[in-house]
Amino acid sequence: MFKASVEVTLKPSVLDPQGEAIKKAIHGLGMECVEEVRIGKLIELEISGNDLPKTEAKLNGVCKDLLTNPVIEQYRIKIQKV
């Protein structure tokens, strides 16, 4: 069995209006030292099986086809055996 996490973020060249709104709110709370805020999402999965390369390949496909918009988002996968 594997435990995987997929971190999805906007590509650096894509404007992040949510991040800008949060940055303004943080500044309003007195923390003007915050220079940039980017918003993303974290997806955690428990996956049965023992074949790490096969699991990683399939999860990459799921990320490209379902979990991300490859035009504007990038992703990072972390998998550990449990």
pLDDT at 53: 96
pLDDT at 44: 98
Burial (0-12, 13-18, 19+ Cβ within 10 Å), 55:
buried
The total of other beta-carbon atoms located within 10 Å of residue 45's CB is 15
What's the predicted TM-score (pTM) here?
0.85
pLDDT at 31: 98
Q: What residues have CB less than 8 Å from 26, skipping those under 6 apart?
A: 34, 37
Of 20, 16, 6, which is closest to residue 68 (Cα–Cα)? 6
- Show the domains of the chain with their CATH numbers: 2-81 (3.30.1280.10)
pLDDT at 35: 97
- Over its C-alpha atoms, the chain yields an Rg (Å, rounded) of 16
pLDDT at 75: 98
CA 70 to mean position of chain CA atoms: 12
Q: What are the 10-residue block averages of pLDDT along the chain, 82 residues in total? A: 97 97 98 97 97 96 97 98 92
